[in-house]
Amino acid sequence: MSLNSCEQRVFDYLELKPEERNYWFEKVRHLSAKSGSKEASIQRLDSELWNYYVERCNVVSQFKEAARLEGLNRTSMRNLAELLTRVWVEPVVKKTATSKK
């Protein structure tokens, strides 16, 4: 999966900051469990990750610099949302007729 530069910046930041990673780990799992569908969860995460990116642009130097150079036009965080969901959320195992016995 290919991440755009904003998504990659957030992903790298989360890899370096265990407290931030743990926060997002719990958030991703919570949204996935709470949401009615995987698609709804991904859409919500996309929005929340963008808001997080904008917030980080006010306090983290590499984000500030990127915002100065690239601007803060809304950028999709969908690929990152999908990646985090795939990695951090346990897949739902569908029961088959043979496993119900």
Profile the chain (101 residues) by mean pLDDT over runs of 10 residues.
94 97 96 87 96 97 96 96 93 63 52
Largest CA distance in the chain: 61
Q: What pLDDT, on the 0 to 100 scale, is given for residue 73?
A: 95
* Sequence-distant (≥ 6) Cβ neighbours of residue 6 within 8 angstroms: 53, 66, 75, 77
pTM: 0.86
Residue 77 has a CB neighbour count (10 Å cut-off) of 24
